[in-house]
Structure 1
């Protein structure tokens, strides 16, 4: 029988314990642990959630890795064509972990309506395009189908729709300037078949998704000429490794670039979230640990006579310390329970209710995204419990300084 655990249970369930001088201090320690757990869960849930959403939106518009011509063109516009007859298209045979390889091309254009006009990027895609990203953010209509004949159906953002008053199933004009400015521009009359809203305004206000064959015709490319390839991975965490592998698999005239390399400033910014999360976790664990140290010391001082009696009966210092560490574990677990319960409720409300909104111009999302995963919650609980107990080992050494004769006589 584990008599240390037995004594700890008797202490916990004793009525005197619940109404003792240490009771308010114990409650404060439990509340501190609960609040710390809530703050840590919110920090991790929102931090990782925001990172994932921004990565998801960047890859939705660009793919995880882009293969383009090896030139000095740093704009979003593709200038020189690439033949899509490549050994890696339609799929890489020597590289695993790749979900899809899709062609694209872009061309600057101007939307002209009866009352207004707006510059846009006309992004052409083909029948190999993965529409899963746009389906998730589709607010009206459907995604286009470019399987058969040249299609005049396009996908626009709600940003463009609202600004230019272009609604679903309406037609509008797009002008494309020719290489010779003296010549009349190309005119394309397209129809809105779907409206999306990704919340990433830098892209939403610019991109119109259309059939790549319009760009091929205007640029006088052949049917096999494209602007580049977008590679979609199964796992974002493999992006740097796969980018290096893809670079080795492509011709010397081609360049592969991951979205981390294409948008370094954004990824450096979201990388700072990790530092913030670690800092919050360290501070919260320290606060919880200090409160538990205070509670433990008060418990020990309040039970001086009991400690003296146990020593007089032959209990070792290690056994008595175990009694109080078991007691402290119970208090920590109570705090973790309430912290998890409150934290999960708050995160679930935000995840499904989207109550707290953000400025998309600053954060690239409309609402605070939430990442919920049993793995990180479990690790957070185990880590907090273990770290708090480790912090309590040294303060529990005060038990070794208590003399049985003096403690019993004192009472």
Structure 2
């Protein structure tokens, strides 16, 4: 072990004065808190992005093709579309959109009715569904929508059902769904039986949508065979933008191809901007905490001035004396970084398991604060904090130059 490293360890373990020991501990604590704040902030932003992406891909298809005036022959359109993308799609399903008003228990709510083919829908989507009522019994969507009676079945979003006061199984609600031949507003109301509930985890979806059988919805609208568009699940979801552009060009005018990235672009753009903003702010916090190292090292240099003079009298080179205190600054930064990452991991785990931090679904779209750890982000955070600590150390040890104490 070199003499400078040996003395650095000795000085850290046994500061000459008790006050310096306290300042040393406070410097380590400051770095640790800064690193913990930065790490936890980035983990939360990762969590938001992961939850939103999973929920969006669970409720939105990777690629949607629409046609002006809707599609009169969705089966033929689907075959033509799949032929254009050369096996890139794993599955496809037609759908029919209508904005409606729902009435139950004296409450009126607006929502979107989505007519789906239950069999092909399950191949494209991974939406969690259960039977209506308090039993929380999972059920496939094709089972929930297969009702053969006069009153068609509907599967409501969890928050939509809650706002309508739907709590029991097989409750009935009225839906204002405009028909071609209806002469009065009363004839546009159709009764539906609430057979199931779906949950995506995002308030925007769970509050705003309901699923019905496509064939039953076409019959109610007196528009057999009609569809709004075709939704597809892709082998490579990240290629959806490029495929959408190719499809739009090959299908020609009157068609629109929309990828999940484009549909949700503003949300992910806002998340990226917020992540960058928080990164800059928290990095400044770490920088302020790390520059406490400058003050600590200057105090230690001043306190050890006699020892430094003796070392130089014995022939110790100036660079060796600088390394002596540089090692101490690096140790403070490294220890603070390790403690900060450990503190952030502990706090994040506690938040995840306890659920103490509840969010307003209407504002944040989700109920719990999400935390998602990324090894690369943790490593980058620790690396940034160490780099700042090294800079602070360099500022301090530059005072030891020209074979004299420049204090």
Q: Same fold (TM over 0.5)?
A: yes
Aligned to 1:86: 79
After superposition, the Cα gap between the structure-2 partners of 1:56 and 1:301, relative to the gap in structure 1 and judged at 3 Å, is same
Give the distance between the partners of 2:242 and 2:279, measured in 1 at CA. Answer: 25
Range with bigger deviation, 188-197 or 230-239: 230-239
2:315 is paired with a residue whose SS is coil
Aligned to 1:379: 380
1:350-391: per-residue Cα shift (whole Å, max 9, x none)? 122221112222211222221222221122112211232133
Aligned to 1:276: 277
After superposition, the Cα gap between the structure-2 partners of 1:213 and 1:279, relative to the gap in structure 1 and judged at 3 Å, is same
Any conservation in 1 of the 2:129–2:197 contact (CA below 8 Å)?
Answer: no
Aligned to 2:97: 106
Q: Does 1:134 align with 2:136?
A: no
After superposition, the Cα gap between the structure-2 partners of 1:310 and 1:154, relative to the gap in structure 1 and judged at 3 Å, is farther
Aligned to 1:10: 10
Match of 1:189 among 177, 192, 210: 192
After superposition, the Cα gap between the structure-2 partners of 1:288 and 1:109, relative to the gap in structure 1 and judged at 3 Å, is same
2:155 is paired with a residue whose SS is strand
2:400 is paired with a residue whose SS is helix
Deviation at 1:207, TM superposition (A): 0.9
Give the distance between the partners of 1:268 and 1:54, measured in 2 at CA. Answer: 12
Q: TM-score, length-normalised on structure 1?
A: 0.81
Query: 1:145-294 counterparts in 2 under 5 A?
Result: 145-146=141-142, 150-151=146-147, 152-175=152-175, 176-182=177-183, 184-185=187-188, 187=190, 189-196=192-199, 198-200=201-203, 202-219=204-221, 226-232=227-233, 240-241=241-242, 243-245=244-246, 247-248=248-249, 250-262=251-263, 265-294=266-295
Aligned to 1:23: 21
Aligned to 1:125: 116
Deviation at 1:55, TM superposition (A): 3.8
Give the distance between the partners of 1:25 and 1:141, measured in 2 at CA. Answer: 59
1:365 is paired with a residue whose SS is coil
Deviation at 1:147, TM superposition (A): 8.4
RMSD: 3.5
Range with bigger deviation, 232-241 or 160-169: 232-241
Give the distance between the partners of 2:389 and 2:26, measured in 1 at CA. Answer: 15
Ranges in structure 2 where 5+ consecutive residues have no aligned partner: none
Aligned to 1:41: 39
Deviation at 1:94, TM superposition (A): 6.1
Any conservation in 2 of the 1:167–1:192 contact (CA below 8 Å)?
Answer: no
After superposition, the Cα gap between the structure-2 partners of 1:88 and 1:168, relative to the gap in structure 1 and judged at 3 Å, is farther
After superposition, the Cα gap between the structure-2 partners of 1:9 and 1:118, relative to the gap in structure 1 and judged at 3 Å, is closer
1:310 is paired with a residue whose SS is helix
After superposition, the Cα gap between the structure-2 partners of 1:80 and 1:377, relative to the gap in structure 1 and judged at 3 Å, is farther
Give the distance between the partners of 1:149 and 1:289, measured in 2 at CA. Answer: 61
Range with bigger deviation, 228-237 or 284-293: 228-237
Deviation at 1:112, TM superposition (A): 4.2
Give the distance between the partners of 2:38 and 2:103, measured in 1 at CA. Answer: 50
